[in-house]
Amino acid sequence: MKNRIILFLIIAVAFASCSDSLSVEPIDQLTGTNFPRTDADAIAAVNGVYQANELSTRFGYTIDLTSDLTVTGENPNGDAGFLSSQQWEPFNSYITYMWTTFYNGITNANVLIDHLEDASSEVTPSLKQRIIGEAKFLRAYYYQYAVQFWGEVPLILHKGVNDEGDGLVREEIDAVYAQIEADLIAAANLLPHAAAYSGSDRGRATWGAAKTLLSKIYLVWGQTSPTLDAAGKKALFDKSIATATEVIASGDYELEEDYAQNWSTENRNGKESVFATQHSLSQSSDGGGGNHLLHCAFSSGFTQSLPHVVISNIKFRDDFDQNDQRKGVTYADSIYNPDKAEWFHFDLPRYQKYIDPIDPNGSASNRNIDRTVLRYAEVFLLRAEAINEAEHAPVGTAYEDINTVRRRAFRQPLNQPSQYDIQQGLNYEGFKSVIQQERVFELTYEQNRRLDLIRWRIYVKTLKESGVKAKENVSLKNYRFPIPGSQRNINPERLWQNWGYDGYDESETGVNPYAGFE
């Protein structure tokens, strides 16, 4: 029974069948009497909702390449180059693709949820419950990217909305986050714990994935809400702490002793993995596994030619302690070439996480390492940060949380003090700086950095002070991506443009919304 989460082209549904002959139609065609009536068809339909999560290249380009840590090795005058140099505009193909893809995923989730929640559905009740949970998790997952990319976005929750988008309106940021919260709470109540899945079903959304993403959303929402007062934000930080504590107390996850195991093809969905994009050489749409993050980091192979994305400043690698195992997993100064039986040394380090040490020759074409989305280590960092935000001081478990992550990094016992621990005595600002740095050490090239800098309100300041020439063009407008021009051509009045971009009308949104940001 091939129920593994297979990722295909936009709109095309992945196959999951009880026999090799099952033919499954695209989910956008599975409506009315044609909607799947069997359990196998419903599984195939939810597999299709996972499809937008495949876009590793676009996630890497829109989140990593737009940060201070990464620059392009491609043509600086192409759309990827413009992302790297902070010169994107409304018709940038990568930004447009992300918008379209997120809303394809949301639309497919809406169709599936509406049909399965219909009392006439013939799908087995227990399976129906799980699939609705998966679809609600994924809808929240796509919306949390959308609201962080563009701010106010259309909030579509049911099938039947005009596919051309001419009737859509941008909803308030707090309303979008409230829906994300509702979907993740519902998903957590419907989804099983990770241990309930086995075989090819491992990797599906779980209770832990819903709770971890919810903890993260509470933190981000509290830091970025344009309307909540201090009490409202503290309430969100407190929820983030409580939700992260639930995940930690569940016992569902453990830290890998060997940090590199998080990207091993021999350790898919390991004990630290909370949610990851599933990739497979044999079942992906291109036959190469689909995780283009590998190709982006190693497309030039054993040469000094630059791949699609590279480290922007050697300082970021040198900031790591030599004894930190994460350094050699994050950056590769050299890679063993099995064909020549020798080590190849790079003039400029490559990102290591998605280069397969077992088959480095295949990393440019065979791309089947799963893309990490949520890891257990981040749960500790989220809780530590939320505590600091809620109490304006690192009290409670804050130090122990960050030190747990650091002890693993330095191969120390997790439950004992270590020489590598962050020592107590920091104030709010001091601990915040430590958390910000630790997230770089732990999460580089995992599609977090741009979003982190934005929620901390230090995006422009950080890029300008990075010493990276390609980032000198950054300005306050870069806190958001522009609404894609193709969408505004359809609906120019309701899809108003973000501040600072071509088509922006000050009468619609008032003065600079980023006043006071750094």
| pLDDT at site 493 | 86
| pLDDT at site 279 | 80
Q: Which of 37-41, 55-59, 247-251 ranks highest by mean pLDDT?
A: 247-251
Report the CATH architecture of 1-172+469-509.
Alpha Horseshoe (1.25)
pLDDT-based confidence at residue 295 (cuts at 50, 70, 90): confident
Beta strands in 271-341 (DSSP E): 273-277, 309-311, 331-337
Taking the domains of the chain in order of start, what are their residue ranges?
1-172+469-509, 292-366, 374-468
Contact (CB, 8 A) for 292 and 309 = no
Q: Please, which residues bridge with residue 295 across strands?
A: none
| pLDDT at site 165 | 58
Average pLDDT, the chain: 88
pLDDT-based confidence at residue 161 (cuts at 50, 70, 90): low
Give residues with Cβ within 8 angstroms of 355, minimum separation 6: 294, 297, 298, 332, 335, 363
Give residue 138's identity as a one-letter amino acid code.
L
pLDDT for 3 beyond 60:
no
- CATH code assigned to 374-468: 1.25.40.900
Task: Decide whether 1-172+469-509 matches 374-468 in CATH topology.
Answer: yes
Give residues with Cβ within 8 angstroms of 400, minimum separation 6: none
| pLDDT at site 167 | 72
| pLDDT at site 160 | 64
DSSP per residue, 71-113: EESS-TTSHHHHHHTT---TT-HHHHHHHHHHHHHHHHHHHHH
pLDDT for 18 beyond 70:
no
| pLDDT at site 345 | 96
| pLDDT at site 507 | 67
Name the least confident of 169-183, 291-305, 423-437, 441-455: 291-305
| pLDDT at site 291 | 79
pLDDT, average across residues 235-244: 98
| Residue range 49-94, pLDDT digits in tens | 887 666 667 899 999 999 999 999 988 999 999 999 999 999 999 9
Q: Please, which residues bridge with residue 336 across strands?
A: 343
The whole-angstrom separation of Cα 298 and Cα 354 is 9
| pLDDT at site 83 | 96
The tokens describing 68, both together, are 């201070």
| Residue range 308-357, pLDDT digits in tens | 999 999 999 999 999 999 999 999 999 999 889 999 999 999 999 998 88
pLDDT-based confidence at residue 32 (cuts at 50, 70, 90): very low
Contact (CB, 8 A) for 492 and 167 = no
The whole-angstrom separation of Cα 27 and Cα 17 is 15
pLDDT, average across residues 400-420: 98
The whole-angstrom separation of Cα 134 and Cα 132 is 5
**Global pTM value:** 0.91
431: left (phi over 0), alpha (psi -120 to 50) or beta: alpha
Higher pLDDT: 1 or 91? It is 91
pLDDT-based confidence at residue 516 (cuts at 50, 70, 90): confident
pLDDT, average across residues 127-136: 96
| pLDDT at site 383 | 98
Contact (CB, 8 A) for 279 and 7 = yes
| pLDDT at site 48 | 86
Give residue 503's identity as a one-letter amino acid code.
G
pLDDT for 361 beyond 80:
no
Q: Please, which residues bridge with residue 341 across strands?
A: none
